[in-house]
Chains A and B, each alone.
Chain A
Amino acid sequence: MTFTNESMFWFLLVAISLLAIGIYGLLSKKSILKMIISIEIIVNGANVGLAAFATQHGADGVILAFFAIALAALEVAVGLTLLIILARKYGITFPEKLNNLRW
C-alpha cells in the first residue's frame, strides 16, 4: 500500500513535527531518560525524512536509515547503561548534577 504521488509533503511534515517535538524535549527536560527519548524522537524524524527522500532519489536514503537505526540502538544501549550505573551508584538522574565523571 502506498500513498499518492502528491503526498511527499505530508511525510516531511511528520519528520519536521518529530524533530521539533524532540528538540523541545531535549532542551526543556531535566531527566536523562527523557533526554535520551527526545534524542530518539529526533533520530526517528530524520529517518522518516530519509525514507521520504528515498522515494524520489533512490535507495540510498533507506540504507542510510538502516545505518541510523543501528547506530541509534547502540547509542541508546550505551546511554541507558551509563544512566543505570550512575543511578545505582550515585543516585544521579539529572544531568546538571553529573559532574563527578571529571578527572
Chain B
Amino acid sequence: MLLYFFILFAVVVATAIAAIELINFIWVLVAFAVLLTEIALFYFSLGFPLLGAFQLAIYAGGVAILVLFAILTIGEREEEKRESKLAAGVAVATFITGLIASIWTGLHTKPYLNISLGELGKVFVDKYAILIIPLGFTAVGIIYGAYYILSKKLQREE
C-alpha cells in the first residue's frame, strides 16, 4: 500500500513542478490536469469518495477546460525569466516548517474515523447550511466586482 502511495506522491510532485516550470502552455495544462486527477485519487484513498468526485468534476473537468479556453484565447506565449532565489528560499523554508509540523502531528495520529455520506450530510445541514447564503452573496459580489471594474475601464477607453 505504501508503494502505491509513493507512486502517487511522486506523480503529484512531478506534475506540480512541471505545471510551473514548463514553457509551453499546452503541456502546462496537461500537467495541471494530471495533478488535479491524482489529488482526487488521494481523496478516494482517504475514504472520501464524494470529495474525490467533486474534485474530478469541478477541478479536473471545469477548471482544466477553463484554463484550456484561456490558453487558446491568449495563445501560447513564453514567459520572461525572473531571478527566483528568494522564491526558492521561501518555498524551502515553508516546506521545512511544514515538515516539522507534519512529523509532530503524525506522531499523534489517532485511528481513522469512518465518516459515512449520511454523517457528512447531517453535519452539513446542522452546522454549515446557513453558510451557503453568505457564500452565494460572496460569489455574486466577486462576479459583479469584476464586471464593474471592466465596464468602468471600458467606458473610460471609449
Q: Which residues of A contact B (CB under 8 A)?
A: 1-31, 33-34, 36-38, 40-41, 44, 47-48, 51-52, 54-60, 62-63, 65-67, 69-78, 80-85, 87-88, 93-94, 100-101, 103
Task: Given A9-B103, A62-B115, A101-B153, check contact A48 B51 (CB 8 Å).
Answer: no
In the complex, the 3 A-B pairs of residues with the closest C-beta atoms, listed nearest first: A9-B106, A16-B98, A27-B87
Enumerate chain B interface residues (CB-CB to A < 8 A): 1-2, 5, 9, 12-13, 16-17, 19-20, 25, 28, 32, 35-36, 39, 42-48, 50-51, 54-55, 58-59, 62-63, 66-67, 69-71, 73-75, 77, 79-80, 82, 84, 86-88, 90-92, 94-95, 98-99, 101-103, 105-107, 109-113, 115, 119-120, 123-124, 127-128, 131, 135, 138-139, 142-143, 146, 149-150, 152-153, 156
Are B103 and A5 within 8 A (Cβ)? Answer: no
Give A85 to B50 CA distance when docked, in angstroms.
35
Chain B residue with the shortest CB-CB distance to A8: B109
Residues of chain B within 8 A (CB-CB) of A11 are 42, 46
Are B109 and A23 within 8 A (Cβ)?
no
Is the CB–CB distance between B32 and A37 below 8 Å?
A: yes
Shortest C-beta distance, A14 to chain B (Å), equals 6
Contacting pair B120 A30 (CB below 8 A): no
